[in-house]
Amino acid sequence: MEPILKGRGLTKRYGRVTALDNCDFDLMPGEILAVIGDNGAGKSSLIKAVSGAVIPDAGTVTLEGKQVHFSSPIDAREAGIETVYQTLAMSPALSIADNMFMGREIRRPGWRGKLLRQLDRPAMEKIARDKLTELGLMTIQNINQAVETLSGGQRQGVAVARAAAFGSKVIILDEPTAALGVKESRRVLELIQDVKSRGIPIILISHNMPHVFEVADRIHVHRLGRRLCVIDPRDYTMSDAVAFMTGAKEAPAEAA
């Protein structure tokens, strides 16, 4: 089976610091791939390289068998790759519907939309409501309530719903449970499984080993700017994963 998203020989330097060192990456169709690594291992640079946020100095990125050159996250988004950053990138004062359609608002049909640039609010609200319902997020009663009135878990839910609504090929989640309590984290993990069941592959960057081992199909271990190995969470323990990540234990050759 060919990977849906593939990186080969990705290299990125910032002056004397090498963030990515001839790094390879594979995301298979329909899987949840966790990316783990110590702070400074280059996980963020890897994700930015495949999502258009940074342009690698060398190497190639391939999406669905075709080589792609993203010069910005907008390019990646247009190709079907959505990223939910740790900061969520939301406007707290705007409504849920406005946040879901930020940067891709639907205009009214005909001259009102073209000349007056009026927005088709009913259409945006309907799509937003449908998407939230689809992902079981209708604890949110009012689609027009401001995002700042939501709990942390609900905000994360809206961000994931936005990605699922527009990320047709790949969704990247950066530390989605980092600032959440136990109950809200559980809901977000269920949400990740829901998105996966729709056939959309997910890249999950996380420091939370129990969460990684619960939802990931494979685990990409990143160390010193490159892929150290890829392991199956059913074959290794959390302690093994941490030991590979920190260099305390030799990585398995067959898993690389």
Please state the rounded mean pLDDT for residues 229-243: 94
Q: Distance between CA 10 and CA 128 in Å, rounded? A: 36
Report the range of poorest mean pLDDT among 36-40, 104-108, 244-248: 104-108
Q: Is the pLDDT of residue 256 over 60?
A: no
pLDDT of residue 245: 92
**pLDDT band at 59; cut points 50, 70, 90:** very high
Report the range of poorest mean pLDDT among 6-20, 36-50, 87-101: 87-101
Residues of the chain above pLDDT 70, percent? 96
Neighbours of 20 (CB within 10 A): 25
Q: Is the pLDDT of residue 178 over 50?
A: yes
Sketch out the chain's domains with CATH numbers.
5-92+150-246 (3.40.50.300), 94-145 (no CATH)
Q: Is the pLDDT of residue 92 over 80?
A: yes
Q: Is the pLDDT of residue 240 over 90?
A: yes
CB-based contact 6:62 (threshold 8 Å): yes
231 vs 256, residue with greater confidence: 231
What is the chain's mean pLDDT, rounded? 88
**pLDDT band at 15; cut points 50, 70, 90:** very high
Please state the rounded mean pLDDT for residues 86-105: 82
Please state the rounded mean pLDDT for residues 17-28: 94
Residues of the chain above pLDDT 90, percent? 47
**pLDDT band at 129; cut points 50, 70, 90:** confident
Please state the rounded mean pLDDT for residues 86-114: 83
